[in-house]
């Protein structure tokens, strides 16, 4: 790659231009989705800027102290939540918002309502902030199919009804990965322009990977199929090389690596968390949506992840997602256990 030539490219595919191009394929489109997405992008830029300053928190007064005006300074995850709620409401294109930070769903006042419902985790992996590990925002978007009063029923739908999903990772670079149902595309924030530029068009996950990603500290509480699968990863019986273990503990970082390099990410149910630990609406569904769009799979231990129908907005589920063949292998182990 000619970096010097690349530095002077003038024909840049920004995320706004990309989404407008997509919009032009649908003559009936009124641009509502484009407006909604540009507000999500703005939220991501704000959080990226705040995360970059987090190490200086004590220095610049972002860490729970009171500032000169007597305002209470907010923790980064609470701040991120406020930013996204305000950006989504002010877009005028949303009706129901579900955030990991809020116990109840937010219903947008009637004068600002639109046809979309957004589920999101404003800052996933926020416990990693203080050690500089990659963290991120995860989001999924549903459409409301009626003009009645919005309710939580509008988001308690299977993941296969989502119209778009994505995440923004705040790490060595700030990267937004998005799917609107026609493949997965990655955009990197160019700080000098303040724009997300298309750097990873049409991401496809390899069919098989040599990395597995799981918290092995929970191994004593796992069920049979998960234990067998991880054993196979470490001690393969077919003469193939053992898989490498990579686990960050920040879902966005672990899934991002899995998406680009292949392999499998597991957060199974165990004795401590019989329903799994990751939340269905704004962690499992968006990541499963992206995985399938990139040619991978996502499985709960019982069924395809996107076929789950949540009953509560903060419901949890086990999840196995990644390369097609790797997930196929764990599906076979669960199927074999069911027969016995």
According to the model, what pLDDT value does residue 10 have?
Answer: 72
pLDDT bracket for residue 75 (50, 70, 90): confident
Average pLDDT, integer, range 69-86: 77
Burial class (CB in 10 A: 0-12, 13-18, 19+), 108: buried
- Residue 260: in which H helix or E strand, if any? helix 251-261
Radius of gyration of the chain (CA): 20
Q: Does residue 3 form part of some domain?
A: no
Question: Mind listing the pLDDT tens digit for each residue in 288-317?
Answer: 999 999 999 999 999 999 999 999 999 999
pLDDT band, residue 322 (cuts 50/70/90): very high
229 and 95 co-located in one domain: no
Per DSSP, what are the bridge partners of residue 186?
A: 177, 200
Task: For residue 226, give the DSSP letter.
Answer: H
Nearest to 108 by CA among 151, 164, 146, 157: 151
Range of the domain at 121: 15-200
Asked whether residue 64 is domain-assigned, the answer is yes
Q: Do both 114 and 219 map to the same domain? A: no
Asked whether residue 192 falls in the same domain as residue 94, the answer is yes
Same domain, 75 and 175: yes
Quick one: tokens of 103? 């116990």
Sheet strand arrangement including 106-107: 106-107, 94-99, 113-124, 135-143, 164-170, 174-179, 185-190, 195-200
How open is the CA angle 96-30-197, to the nearest 5 degrees? Answer: 85
Percent of the chain with pLDDT over 70: 91
- Residue ending a domain, among 146, 180, 200, is 200
Token look-up 């909604």 returns 36
153 in Cβ contact with 162 (< 8 Å): no
Here the tokens at position 296 are 């991978």
User: Is the predicted pLDDT of residue 70 greater than 70, yes or no?
Assistant: no
pLDDT band at 61 (very low <50, low <70, confident <90, very high): very low
Give the mean model confidence (pLDDT) for residues 6-28: 81
Over range 78-103, report the average pLDDT: 95
Q: Are residues 189 and 252 in the same domain?
A: no
35 with 103, same domain: the answer is yes
For the chain, what is the domain count? 2
CATH of the domain at 146: 3.30.540.10
- Which stretches does DSSP call E strand in 109-201? 113-124, 135-143, 164-170, 174-179, 185-190, 195-200
Residue 72 has pLDDT above 60, yes or no: no
68 with 184, same domain: the answer is: yes
Residue 3: predicted pLDDT: 54
90 DSSP assignment: H
* Token pair for 339: 């027969």
Q: In this predicted model, what pLDDT tens digit does every residue of 111-166 receive, in sequence order?
A: 999 999 999 999 998 878 777 889 999 999 999 988 789 999 999 999 999 999 99
3-state DSSP assignment of residue 147: coil
Q: Does pLDDT of 77 surpass 70?
A: yes
For residue 68, the model assigns a pLDDT of 43
pLDDT in tens, 163-215: 999 999 999 899 999 999 999 999 999 999 999 999 999 999 999 999 999 99
Same domain, 325 and 268: yes
Q: What is the pLDDT of residue 78?
A: 86
What would the pLDDT profile of 256-280 be if each residue is shown by its tens digit? 999 999 999 999 999 999 999 999 9
**What span, in angstroms and rounded, lies between the C-alpha atoms of 101 and 137?**
12
pLDDT value of residue 319:
98
Strands (E) across the chain are located at: 94-99, 106-107, 113-124, 135-143, 164-170, 174-179, 185-190, 195-200, 211-213, 244-245, 264-267, 278-279, 297-299, 316-317, 319-322
How far is the CA of 274 from the CAs of 203, 222, 270, in angstroms?
A: 33, 10, 5
Instruction: Check residue 25 and give its pLDDT.
Output: 82
Residues paired with 299 in a beta bridge = 304, 320
Question: pLDDT-derived band of residue 7, with 50, 70 and 90 as boundaries?
Answer: low
Residue 10 in any domain: the answer is no
């Amino acid at each position: 790659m000619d970096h010097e030539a690349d530095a002077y490219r003038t024909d840049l595919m920004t995320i706004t231009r990309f989404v407008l191009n997509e919009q032009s394929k649908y003559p009936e489109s009124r641009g509502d989705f484009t407006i909604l997405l540009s507000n999500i992008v703005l939220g991501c830029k704000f959080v990226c800027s705040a995360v970059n300053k987090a190490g200086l928190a004590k220095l610049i007064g972002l860490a729970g102290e009171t500032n000169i005006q007597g305002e209470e300074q907010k923790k980064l995850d609470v701040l991120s939540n406020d930013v996204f709620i305000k950006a989504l409401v002010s877009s005028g294109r949303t009706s129901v918002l579900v955030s990991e930070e809020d116990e109840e769903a937010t219903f947008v006042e009637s004068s600002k309502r639109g046809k979309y419902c957004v589920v999101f985790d404003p800052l996933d992996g926020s416990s990693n902030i203080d050690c500089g590990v990659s963290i991120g925002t995860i989001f999924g978007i549903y459409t409301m199919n009626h003009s009645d009063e919005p309710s939580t029923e509008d988001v308690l739908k299977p993941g296969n009804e989502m119209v778009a999903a994505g995440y923004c990772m705040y790490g060595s670079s700030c990267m937004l990965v998005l799917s609107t149902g026609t493949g997965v595309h990655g955009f990197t924030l160019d700080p000098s322009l303040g724009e997300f530029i298309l750097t990873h068009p049409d991401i496809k996950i390899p069919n098989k990977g040599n990395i597995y990603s799981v918290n092995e500290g929970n191994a004593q509480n796992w069920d049979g199929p998960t234990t067998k699968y991880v054993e196979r990863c470490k001690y393969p019986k077919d003469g193939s090389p053992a898989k490498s273990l990579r686990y960050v503990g920040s879902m966005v970082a672990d899934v991002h690596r899995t998406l680009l390099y292949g392999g499998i990410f597991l957060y199974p149910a165990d004795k401590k968390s019989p329903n799994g630990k990751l939340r269905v609406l704004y962690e499992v569904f968006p990541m499963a949506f992206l995985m399938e769009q990139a040619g991978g799979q996502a499985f709960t231990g019982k069924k395809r992840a996107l076929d789950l129908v949540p009953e509560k907005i903060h419901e949890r589920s086990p999840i196995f997602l990644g390369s097609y063949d790797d997930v196929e292998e764990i599906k076979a182990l669960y199927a074999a256990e069911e027969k016995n």
